[in-house]
Amino acid sequence: MVTWDSEVFQSLTTAQTQTVEAGMQAIETIQSATIVNASILGMADKIGSLKADKLADIVATDDNPIKNIKTMEAVSFVMKEGRIYKQ
């Protein structure tokens, strides 16, 4: 499954936008979807951040999501399990 066009990803990006609009910092919303969840699952040593020897799917945007969280709603690059799905 590729998440960049899935309902799950759209729900996540909508939730991120809403939490920023409610006062949470953009970086905190991004971390809550990545490293925080990995820590909760006890898997922070394997997933949740981009580091050597970790498993990672990559979603990139044309703008800085820390400055504009809504850019997460229009990703420009998706890599899942080492395969590029959108470029």
Strands of the 58-60 sheet, one edge to the other: 58-60, 77-80, 83-86
What pLDDT does 3 receive?
37
Decide: helix, strand or coil at residue 75: coil
Query: Taking the domain 3-86, which CATH number applies?
Result: 2.30.40
User: Distance between CA 76 and CA 60 in Å, rounded?
Assistant: 6
**Which sign, positive or negative, has the C-alpha torsion 13, 9, 76, 64?**
positive
- Residue 5 is predicted with a pLDDT of 45
Helices (H), 1-87: 7-21, 26-33, 35-40
pLDDT at res. 44: 93
Residue ranges per domain, the chain? 3-86
- Per-residue pLDDT at 6: 56
Torsions phi, psi for 9 (to 5 deg): -65, -40
User: Which tens digits make up the pLDDT trace of 33-80?
Assistant: 889 989 999 999 999 898 988 988 888 999 999 999 999 888 899 888
